[in-house]
């Protein structure tokens, strides 16, 4: 009998859940309605270069409003699985001005399952996009955590995924990171089982780094809970990344800077947009009525259609 091929649960790496391209504009609109700080920065473009709302949407942030109570619902799982997930997910609350409501029921923004393969989470406010994460489906999953899983593994994985839920990226994709990949080996390993990823998927999940203007990121932290252990064979020089199992001091300071406890509770959206307004190069796609309903009294969708860009002088 042929040996069983390892799957995502055997690999025990978190897999990114990128939004489909057609959903990114809606995600940017809803993120801006949630927190005005998610508004894309003014972009500098060259004469003759055209950048429309679809391109601008890529640069929108994904933070929740400061002081927000974010709802959490379990779609399945045992009493032990639920209790341990809540225990370690709430560890972020010690340092961030955000609270998780595990009794939110049907209104929950975060929906957790233990039935799908792998461990993953929607990134911050991306979980509001019902076209990518339907209300009956999870926005966060723990594929290999069982009642009898090691306690350190529970802590490592749950804190990591709730970091994504707060808008934190994978540390190996930090633009300030020093990891130099052994690309030939990276493509070989991740194009085979259990991932069977295409080159594009490997680039997105492993190789590519975010631009500083695209995200909330701290200086690269090799001790971060958001950095998974990679074997030395995947890295130039052969030195593996360490297996981090708890929040680092930099993790704590970083999340406190995103959601400062000393700051007043943020409003959903400002009445006046921070950016100057100008005609955009293209019309933004409309957000679905269901997704837009919570923000019906804001002008964020109109703001997004008028996001300005600044021409660089040569």
pLDDT of residue 71: 97
Tell me the average pLDDT across 176-183: 73
In this predicted structure, the answer to whether residue 183 has a pLDDT above a threshold of 70 is yes
Chain-centroid distance of CA 198 in Å reads 21
Does any domain span residue 307? no
Domains contained in the chain, number: 1
In this predicted structure, the answer to whether residue 91 has a pLDDT above a threshold of 70 is yes
pLDDT digits (tens, 9 = 90+) for 5-31: 445 555 566 666 767 777 778 888 888
What is the CA angle 177-182-183, rounded to 5? Answer: 100
- How many other C-beta atoms are found inside a 10 Å radius of the C-beta of residue 54? 18
Cα(40)–Cα(233) distance, rounded to whole angstroms? 37
Does any domain span residue 282? no
Does any domain span residue 69? yes
Does any domain span residue 252? yes
- List CB contacts of 4: < 8 A, sequence separation 6 or more: none
**289: pLDDT confidence band, cut at 50, 70 and 90?**
very low
Does any domain span residue 268? no
CATH number (domain holding residue 164) = 3.40.390.10
Cα(29)–Cα(300) distance, rounded to whole angstroms? 7
In this predicted structure, the answer to whether residue 79 has a pLDDT above a threshold of 90 is yes
Cα(164)–Cα(263) distance, rounded to whole angstroms? 22
For residue 132, give the DSSP letter: T
In this predicted structure, the answer to whether residue 223 has a pLDDT above a threshold of 70 is yes
Does any domain span residue 254? yes
Domain range for 26 is: 8-258
Does any domain span residue 213? yes
Does any domain span residue 99? yes
- List CB contacts of 78: < 8 A, sequence separation 6 or more: 147
Structure tokens that stand for 124 in this block: 């911050």
């Amino acid at each position: 009998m042929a040996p069983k091929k390892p799957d995502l649960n055997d690999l025990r790496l978190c897999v990114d859940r990128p939004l489909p391209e057609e959903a990114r504009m809606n995600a940017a609109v809803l993120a801006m309605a949630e927190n005005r700080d998610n508004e894309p920065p003014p972009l500098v473009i060259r004469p003759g270069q055209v950048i429309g709302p679809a391109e601008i949407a890529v640069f929108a942030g994904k933070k929740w409003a400061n002081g927000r109570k974010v709802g959490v619902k379990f779609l399945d799982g045992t009493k032990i699985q639920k209790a341990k997930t809540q225990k370690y997910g709430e560890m972020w609350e010690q340092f961030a001005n955000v609270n998780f409501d595990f009794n939110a029921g049907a209104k929950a923004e975060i929906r957790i399952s233990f039935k799908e393969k792998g461990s993953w989470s929607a990134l911050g406010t991306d979980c509001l996009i019902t076209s990518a994460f339907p209300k009956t489906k999870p926005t966060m999953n723990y594929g290999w955590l069982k009642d009898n899983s090691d306690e350190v593994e529970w802590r490592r994985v749950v804190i990591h995924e709730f970091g994504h839920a707060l808008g934190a990226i994978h540390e190996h994709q930090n633009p300030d990171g020093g990891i130099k990949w052994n690309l030939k080996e990276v493509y070989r390993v991740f194009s085979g089982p259990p991932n069977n990823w295409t080159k594009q998927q490997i680039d997105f999940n492993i190789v590519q780094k975010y631009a500083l203007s695209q995200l909330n990121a701290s200086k690269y932290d090799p001790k971060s809970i958001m950095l998974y252990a990679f074997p030395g064979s995947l890295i130039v020089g052969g030195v593996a990344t360490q297996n981090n199992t708890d929040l680092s001091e930099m993790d704590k300071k970083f999340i406190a800077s995103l959601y400062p406890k000393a700051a007043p509770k943020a409003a959903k959206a400002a009445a006046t947009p921070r950016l100057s307004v100008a005609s955009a190069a293209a019309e933004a796609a409309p957000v679905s009525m269901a997704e837009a309903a919570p923000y019906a009294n804001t002008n964020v969708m109109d703001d997004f259609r008028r996001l300005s860009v600044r021409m660089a002088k040569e």
